[in-house]
Amino acid sequence: MKILYHHRIASKDGQYVHVEELTNALDELGHELHFVAPQVNENADFGGDGGFVSKLKKALPKALYEILELSYSAWVFIKLVVAILKFKPEVIYERYNLYQPAGVLAAKLFNIPLLLEINAPLAEERAKYSGLALQGFAKKIEDFTWRGATHCLPVTDVLADYMREANIPESRITVIHNGVRQQFIDEMMQHDINVNIQEIVIGFTGFIHPWHGMDKALEAIAEHKELPLRLIFVGDGNILPDLRQQAETLGISEKVEFKGLVTRDKVLDFVKEFDIALQPDVTAYASPLKMFEYMAVGALIVAPKTSNIQEILSDDTALFFEKGDKADFKKALTTAITSYKVLDCKRRAVKQSILDKQFVWQENARKVVELAEGVANEAHY
């Protein structure tokens, strides 16, 4: 198929990984893609922000920045029109962003179906975490964009509920979780899970926030100094100096490693070492990329017992704790540490489940194409 792929990501982060993995999978399947998107600096460090745009966002009043966002959509609309006239796509695939109705408008103008990938209810998310000046207006634009799409692709069923609340018919909603590339899974399947190891590696990837409760992870390790434990943090966070100080105070500095921001491939190299993997917190509707990588390597996963995570994991494949309960998080991690060998059944089960549930980028690409072919055929009638 000829697919016009539209997104507004300028930063090299988890969003960038999602776009890269899905588009690489579509390319592997032989489909022709044309992009309408900001230029991402391929030489930038992974985890880097959007450069000028991020600085502008910080400098301007929120209302003015939001108006500029919507104004930018007019420029994007022109770019989409030019791309449609030149490329003549059969379908538009868009990664949803707030104040970005251009894709819907261009799709309607040319009667081209639009598949809208939705990773978060951004009007709600931005209002909660970074502030939103024009909340009512932003929600109206969001609903217009969601309703105007031919088909919505939320990453969890919890997120799909937001579409249902916006009166989008079930027939126009398909949940597609995130995943892992097939090549990484194949590589990991060649290695059997070994519980008779000299050292148990506990790992976390991502940005570390104070509410993650990583101080409790350090306490759990300190309470079992006699065991061969190593904790690896891969990622950044303002709390890192505090965690370093705590590790030193607890006398476990030699058991804790802070890797900081590393390249994407290097992240996966570290994840391959994880025997126990931590998902200390999660937004209620997310489909965390790291979770699928933890699954692929057969790590014993410690995760919050939330509806969106239980779409991915079960009691057979993970150790759960109550979300936001740091003491329960510590208790679950302690169980993972002290019952590590006994719980190897969960590791084997989680590794197999990524295949059974088809959490694979190539499978996601096939689902996207199947939907695209369906809506493209309907558009011709």
Whether the CA torsion 85, 89, 90, 96 is positive or negative: it is negative
**Looking at residue 210, what DSSP letter applies?**
G
Q: Per residue in 289-325, pLDDT tens?
A: 999 999 999 999 999 999 999 999 999 999 999 999 9
> In CATH, what number does 2-179+360-379 get?
3.40.50.2000
**Looking at residue 206, what DSSP letter applies?**
S
- The domain limits of the chain are 2-179+360-379, 182-356
What long-range pairs does 300-303 form, CB within 8 A, spacing at least 24?
300/275, 300/276, 300/336, 300/340, 300/343, 300/344, 300/346, 300/347, 300/350, 301/276, 301/277, 301/346, 301/350, 302/276, 302/277, 302/278, 302/329, 302/332, 302/333, 302/336, 303/279
Question: Does the fold of domain 182-356 match that of domain 2-179+360-379?
Answer: yes
- Dmax of the chain from CA atoms? 70
Predicted pLDDT of residue 158: 98
Low-confidence ranges of the chain (pLDDT < 70): 11-13, 40-54, 194-196, 380-381
Tokens of 97: 């962003």
Interstrand relation of 200-205 and 229-234 (parallel, antiparallel or unpaired): parallel
Tokens 């996601």 correspond to what residue? 364
Domain 182-356 falls under CATH 3.40.50.2000: yes
Helix (H) or strand (E) holding 188: helix 182-189
C-alpha dihedral over 159, 164, 170, 176, to 10 degrees? Answer: -10
pTM of the predicted model as reported, rounded to 2 decimal places: 0.91
d(CA 290, CA 297) in angstroms, rounded, equals 11
d(CA 252, CA 244) in angstroms, rounded, equals 10
Predicted pLDDT of residue 43: 46
Q: Per residue in 72-95, pLDDT tens?
A: 999 999 999 999 999 999 999 999
